[in-house]
Amino acid sequence: MSVIKSLRYENIDALRGFALMGLFVVHMVEYFELYWYQPKPGWVHDVVFGLFGGKAYAMFAMLFGVSFYILQHSKRMSGEHFSRLFTRRLAILCLLGYLHGLIYSGDILLVLGVCGFLLVVLQGLSTRMLAVVALLFILQLPLIVHVAWLVGQGLSYGEPLHYSVMGQTFEALAHGSLWDVIINNSANGQLGKWLFFVESGRLYTLIGLFIAGYAIARTGWLFKKNIPYKDLALIALMAIGIIVLCDFLSHRIQAWQLAQAELRSLHGVIANYHNTAIMVLEVCVLLALYNLPVCRRLLNSQSAAGRMSLTLYVGQSIVGVMLFYGYAGGMYDSMPQTTALGGAVICWLVQLKLAQYWLARHQYGPLEWLWRSLTYGRKVS
């Protein structure tokens, strides 16, 4: 299935821009992780996390798989050795992610880069087999097997390991110097992040969505000029059904005779199902709106951000940590979430304008250009 370049730059980049916006809003409202140091729940937190928490990163992961296919297809057309090129590209992303993680421990670039190597390994499978593998990961099979084993053995592992590790990180972010933050994030911050992704099951969801995005892109469905409303409606109805079922189960399992640790794990599994279903519903709504010319123009305003997602993502972190971390603005303890949300909206509009201005004069964003140049081993134009 051939990829239509113009549509790639429209709907895929618009979706990526929307996902980046969601990530930024979540990060601002959670004070770039320091909300969890002294949680104070409220309506802003509930609304933002209900719309974007666990959904924006999931959309990003799915689109990562789509981008893998697009790059693979374009390199095959030009006769280049794709696997070697993409492996180098992923290795550089891992390096950039680790360096970014030194200032912001919540970095997702390293996770994307490491998990992306699975796509290189699995690309030879049929689309049907890829769909099966993706489903097994999205269903959290490794986590479910682990919980079932604990129940069967009558064991309990108590609190998740990432609690204490991330607690140390929060102390460094809130009260440490810049050097303290860098030292902590060089090892402890990385460990806490990976433990969280594994113990919460998000790692399995992310891998599954990588593979699912790649498989969907293979079919060419995303690259149709206008995706049929009946397709979108059917998928949306299935997503709504899963959301309702998850809400039912999350209340029902409270009556089960399970230890606290097993209950926590099952709640995590259900929450990941719930978040993935909401993400799918959001994608369906956005693609349905994309079929309408008026809405298409509005959504395309996000595409510049999608094309510069690496640059903007890192730039957001630099601004965020300067606002909230103890060695800089230290506003994690004083800025209301309503103010953080308002600031996120204003900052996002500024980012859109900056991205549009930059891309009107350059083909790539600054970090996109660096990433591409390092991948090819030469300065790209």
Per-residue pLDDT tens over the stretch 243-261: 999 999 888 887 776 667 6
Mean pLDDT of 354-378: 93
Q: Is the pLDDT of residue 350 over 80?
A: yes
Lowest mean pLDDT among 210-219, 237-246, 259-268: 259-268
* Domain presence at residue 190: yes
Number of domains within the chain = 1
pLDDT, position 4: 45
- Assess if residue 287 is contained within a domain: yes
For residue 217, tell me if it sits in a domain: yes
pLDDT score for 80: 58
Classify residue 379: in a domain, yes or no.
no
**pLDDT tops 50 at residue 63:** yes
CA 316 to centroid of chain Cα atoms: 15
Residues 6+ apart with CB under 8 A from 123: 68, 72, 83, 214
Average pLDDT over residues 109-115: 94
Domain that holds residue 31: 5-356
pLDDT for 378: 86
Of the candidates 108, 99, 187, 181, the residue with the CA atom closest to the CA atom of residue 370:
99
Domain assignment present for 306: yes
Whole-angstrom distance, CA of residue 60 vs CA of residue 373: 23
Q: Give pLDDT tens digits for 151-181.
A: 666 555 567 888 889 999 999 999 999 999 9
Q: Provide the pLDDT for residue 2.
A: 44
- Give me the DSSP letters along 322-337: HHHSTTTT-GGGTS-H
Flag whether 364 is in a domain: no
- Higher confidence at residue 72 or residue 316? 316
8-29, pLDDT tens digit by residue? 467 899 999 999 999 999 999 9
Question: Is position 37 within any domain?
Answer: yes
What torsion do the CA atoms of 14, 4, 85, 311 make, to the nearest 10 degrees?
-20
348, 197 contact by CB (below 8 A): no
Q: Does residue 3 carry a pLDDT above 70?
A: no
Of 102-116, 216-230, 328-342, the least confident: 216-230
Does residue 5 carry a pLDDT above 50? no
What is residue 56's predicted lDDT score, i.e. its pLDDT? 94
Domain contains 365? no
